[in-house]
């Protein structure tokens, strides 16, 4: 269509050296990027619900980072037993509502009397680290493989697409449980808690990449045919340059949105694995592990189930609200 | 059509082979690499070297992994004999081997678990499709009203709530506090249909709630998009009653993407089943799988994975065939 005249103009301009083309390319991108960012930011600022989600997320992250400090201020060490808080015959906390008092802000664990407040804080640490880093792993894998599939096409595309379909349709939790349970307890000289965190990041991140890979592949397929890619190609740009300098910036918005939206799913998977006993190994605290212990006690001490359950709910909801808001802000059509 | 079907079946068989290979790899190759011994898992750490060697020969654990895999496949199709000299045990096809822990044959063990998980899955699926689609359609039609906002808030909460939390809450409220229902348990349908229903209603609702939320959100979004289409305007301007416009013209377009999602969700459903069965203490495939994983009972894990994979592959085939029925624009080929 209009490729003819435009192409000739570009030819004239870029004839002397390659540099002007590069400058022009980056300049164009900078303007487009800024304006999109501004529009999106304005939309996001107006979205009160999404902002509330973001605030909760930030608070949770601060809480997790400050866990040792907060524990020293208002809690007790995570593995300190407080037998005096427990009814010796039925093993439940002595105080009402799971032993909530001004000493034990969220009560004590039935059976052992450990401080729930500090265990929730330390549980937040592992949950958030696992969820966020595994989302990054999925994004990097999904982004690279999706780009490759969409851009290269041919057999690369069919192999990657087949693998994605396969992973999407299969009982991931079963595979995840299986993988986690056969791997050794400590890796790289780390203690049980952090080596398991690494395993969880790897496993959850690996099973999450097809979600992002699919979207990136689809977007790449349509972007590949656009004029600016053709222009870049006709200027003699190599595949690497087209992939990372031309295509990737245009994919930033969907990638960002789906990375944010995969975090809540990862939180649920992480907690599910801990619930099933293959997540963070006890005595280290984890929200899912607490819910699993609560199965024994929920009829006598419902608070011990309600507190970690609500924490998971609040965290996941906050990430979902923020992610939805981000999607609406960056891509109003997707609403 | 026939060539399509044949191609799909060949594909399904390849997929199943890959699944078994991956599972086999995870459970037989990884322990070998990390240095744990499957024979020890089978017989326990106290075993003397002679009986350990016997087990190894009998189960063929000394063979290279590919040979073991080949024997496993042969057992699946034609049955196999476990032999250690004169001590021969025959296992009929489809043979999944013997449980390391209980020494029972795996195939009948798992077959007896299928009805539990199937009851759970089908009941929950019916509930979530009906409830999710209805909520989504209503929400889209009453867009922006209080009803819409309440439904969508509920749906968002639903996506954010883990089964292992809602399940315990439901148990606490409906069984322990209010006493409306007996304990969640599986009673075979043919023995006692009422008991089957009351025993499973809570697991169904818990499992369905999560999925219904996703379906409601998806249906709403699709419905809104469809309502903006020209053909809906045409249908309305022809003077068709609103019921026909929505029910016949709108819903059809909305259902097509939902069918795909439905097929994909069966993998997730199995994960949901593992968790639900754990919370409600139902002895189904998910419960069996988890127990087996905790005990490193490799043959049982392999069996459950294979059954799950067959289930998913078959469902996806059915869904793809259904697709062409719902949407005549889709050509199989």
Q: What residues pair up with B89 in beta bridges, in sequence order?
A: B82
Strand B80-84 with B87-91, pairing = antiparallel
Dist. CA A200–CA A179, nearest whole Å: 10
pLDDT per residue over A169-182, tens digit each?
666 777 777 777 77
E strand or H helix that includes residue B80: strand B80-84
Same domain, B113 and B240: yes
Same domain, B148 and B228: yes
Q: Between A218 and B181, whose confidence is greater? A: A218
Q: Whose structure tokens read 């039935």?
A: A110
Dist. CA A193–CA B141, nearest whole Å: 50
Q: Give the percent of chain A with pLDDT over 90.
A: 13
The answer to whether the CB atoms of A271 and B264 lie below 8 A apart is no
Dist. CA B108–CA B93, nearest whole Å: 11
Dist. CA B109–CA A174, nearest whole Å: 18
pLDDT band at A140, cuts 50/70/90? very high
> pTM of the full predicted structure?
0.81
The answer to whether the CB atoms of B289 and A299 lie below 8 A apart is no
The answer to whether the CB atoms of B169 and A305 lie below 8 A apart is yes
The answer to whether the CB atoms of A179 and B26 lie below 8 A apart is yes
Pick from B91, B123, B140: which residue ends a domain? B91
Both tokens of A227, joined, read 């004029």
Q: Identify from B12, B155, B162 which residue to disrupt to test chain A contact, counting A C-beta atoms within 10 A and taking the largest count.
A: B162
Same domain, B276 and B311: yes
The pLDDT of residue B32 is 63
Same domain, B15 and B52: yes
The pLDDT of residue B38 is 62
For residue B6, being part of any structural domain is answered with yes
* CATH number of B251's domain: 1.10.3720.10
Same domain, B141 and B178: yes
By three-state DSSP, how is residue B44 classified? coil
Same domain, B40 and B119: no
The pLDDT of residue A130 is 92
A217 with A226: CB under 8 angstroms? Answer: no
CA dihedral sign, ordered A80, A85, A89, A95: negative
Same domain, B87 and B111: no
Distances (CA, A) of B178 to A167, A310, B175, B182: 42, 22, 6, 11
The answer to whether the CB atoms of A169 and B169 lie below 8 A apart is no
How many beta carbons lie within 10 A of that of residue B314, not counting itself?
Answer: 12
Q: Give the angle B45-B49-B50 at the CA atoms, nearest 5°.
A: 130
The pLDDT of residue A141 is 93
By three-state DSSP, how is residue B95 classified? coil
Reading chain B (333 residues) residue by residue, the pLDDT tens digits are 778 788 878 888 888 888 888 877 777 666 666 555 666 666 655 666 766 777 777 777 777 778 888 888 888 777 777 766 666 677 776 777 777 777 778 888 888 888 888 888 888 888 988 888 888 888 888 887 888 888 888 888 888 888 888 888 888 888 777 777 777 677 777 777 777 777 788 888 888 888 888 888 888 888 888 888 888 888 888 888 888 888 788 887 888 778 777 777 776 777 788 888 888 888 888 888 888 877 777 788 888 888 887 887 788 778 777 777 776 666 655
For residue B333, being part of any structural domain is answered with no
The pLDDT of residue A334 is 47
Q: Which domain holds residue B43?
A: 2-91
Same domain, B166 and B249: yes
Q: Cβ contacts of residue B276 below 8 Å, gap of 6+?
A: B120, B163, B167, B203, B206, B207, B282, B286
Q: Cβ contacts of residue B123 below 8 Å, gap of 6+?
A: B200, B204, B208
Same domain, B68 and B169: no
pLDDT per residue over A282-316, tens digit each?
788 888 888 888 888 877 788 888 888 899 999 99
Residues of chain B contacting residue A162, judged by C-beta atoms under 8 Å apart: none
For residue B199, being part of any structural domain is answered with yes
Same domain, B37 and B181: no
Interface A–B counts its CB contacts (< 8 A) at: 127
Q: Cβ contacts of residue A268 below 8 Å, gap of 6+?
A: A312, A316, B162
The ipTM, to two decimals, is: 0.79
Backbone torsions φ then ψ of A170, nearest 5 degrees: -100, 155
In angstroms, what separates the C-alpha of A104 from chain B's closest C-alpha? 23
Q: Cβ contacts of residue A225 below 8 Å, gap of 6+?
A: none
pLDDT band at A189, cuts 50/70/90? low
Q: What residues pair up with B90 in beta bridges, in sequence order?
A: B81
Q: Give the angle A315-B143-A318 at the CA atoms, nearest 5°.
A: 5
Same domain, B116 and B17: no
Dist. CA A61–CA A155, nearest whole Å: 43
Helices (H) and strands (E) in chain A, counts: 14, 0
For residue B293, being part of any structural domain is answered with yes
Side-chain half-sphere CA neighbours of A93 within 13 A: 25
């Amino acid at each position: 269509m209009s490729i003819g005249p435009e192409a000739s103009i570009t030819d004239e301009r870029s004839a002397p050296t390659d540099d002007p083309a590069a400058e022009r390319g980056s300049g164009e991108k900078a303007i487009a990027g800024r304006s999109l960012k501004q529009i999106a930011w304005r939309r996001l600022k107006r979205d009160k619900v999404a902002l509330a989600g973001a605030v909760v997320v930030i608070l949770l992250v601060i809480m997790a980072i400050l866990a040792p400090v907060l524990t020293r201020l208002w809690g007790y060490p995570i593995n300190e037993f407080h037998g005096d808080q427990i009814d010796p015959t039925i093993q439940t906390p002595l105080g009402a509502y799971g032993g909530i008092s001004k000493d034990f802000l969220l009560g004590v664990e039935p059976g052992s009397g450990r401080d729930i407040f500090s265990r929730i804080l330390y549980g937040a640490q592992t949950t958030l680290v696992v969820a966020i880093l595994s989302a990054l792993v999925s994004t990097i894998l999904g982004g690279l493989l999706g780009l490759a599939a969409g851009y290269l096409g041919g057999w690369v595309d069919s192999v990657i697409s087949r693998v994605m379909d396969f992973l999407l349709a299969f009982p991931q939790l079963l595979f995840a449980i299986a993988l986690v349970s056969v791997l050794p307890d400590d890796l790289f000289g780390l203690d049980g808690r952090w080596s398991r965190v690494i395993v969880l990041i790897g496993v959850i991140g690996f099973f999450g990449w097809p979600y992002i890979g699919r979207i990136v592949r689809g977007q790449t397929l349509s972007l590949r045919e656009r004029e600016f890619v053709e222009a870049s190609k006709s200027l003699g740009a190599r595949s690497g340059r087209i992939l990372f300098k031309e295509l990737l910036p245009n994919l930033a918005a969907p990638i960002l949105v789906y990375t944010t939206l995969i975090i809540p799913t990862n939180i649920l998977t992480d907690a599910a694995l801990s619930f099933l006993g293959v997540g963070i190994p006890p005595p280290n605290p984890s929200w899912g592990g607490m819910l699993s212990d609560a199965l024994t006690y929920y009829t006598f001490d419902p608070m011990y189930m309600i507190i970690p359950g609500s924490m998971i709910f609040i965290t996941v909801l906050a990430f979902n609200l923020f992610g939805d808001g981000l999607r609406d802000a960056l891509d109003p059509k997707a609403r | 059509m026939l060539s399509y079907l044949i191609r799909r079946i060949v594909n399904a068989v390849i997929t199943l082979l890959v699944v078994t290979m991956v599972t086999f790899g995870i459970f037989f190759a990884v322990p070998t690499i990390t240095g744990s011994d499957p024979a020890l898992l089978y017989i326990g750490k106290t075993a003397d070297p002679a009986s350990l060697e016997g087990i190894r020969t009998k189960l063929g654990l000394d063979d290279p992994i590919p040979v073991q895999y080949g024997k496993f496949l042969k057992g699946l199709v034609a049955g196999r004999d476990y032999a250690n000299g004169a001590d021969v045990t025959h296992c009929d096809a489809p043979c999944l081997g013997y449980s390391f822990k209980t020494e029972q044959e795996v195939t009948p063990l798992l077959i007896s678990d299928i009805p539990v998980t199937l009851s759970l899955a089908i009941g929950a699926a019916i509930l979530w499709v009906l409830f999710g689609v209805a909520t989504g359609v209503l929400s889209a039609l009453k867009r922006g009203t209080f009803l819409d906002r309440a439904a969508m808030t509920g749906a968002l909460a639903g996506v954010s709530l883990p089964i292992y939390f809602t399940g315990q809450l439901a148990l606490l409220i409906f069984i322990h506090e209010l006493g409306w229902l007996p304990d969640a348990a599986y009673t075979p349908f043919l023995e006692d249909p009422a008991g089957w229903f009351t025993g499973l209603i809570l697991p169904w609702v818990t499992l369905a709630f999560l999925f219904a939320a996703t379906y409601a959100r998806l249906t709403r979004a699709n419905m809104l998009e469809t309502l903006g289409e020209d053909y809906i305007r045409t249908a309305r301007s022809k003077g068709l009653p609103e019921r026909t416009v929505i029910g016949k013209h709108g819903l059809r377009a909305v259902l097509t993407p939902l069918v795909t999602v439905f097929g994909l969700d069966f993998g997730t459903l199995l994960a949901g089943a593992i968790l639900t069965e754990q919370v409600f203490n139902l002895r189904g495939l998910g419960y069996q799988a988890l127990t087996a994983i905790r005990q490193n009972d490799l043959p049982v894990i392999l069996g459950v994975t294979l059954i799950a994979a067959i289930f998913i592959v078959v469902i996806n085939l059915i869904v793809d065939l259904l697709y062409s029925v719902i949407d005549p624009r889709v050509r199989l080929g």
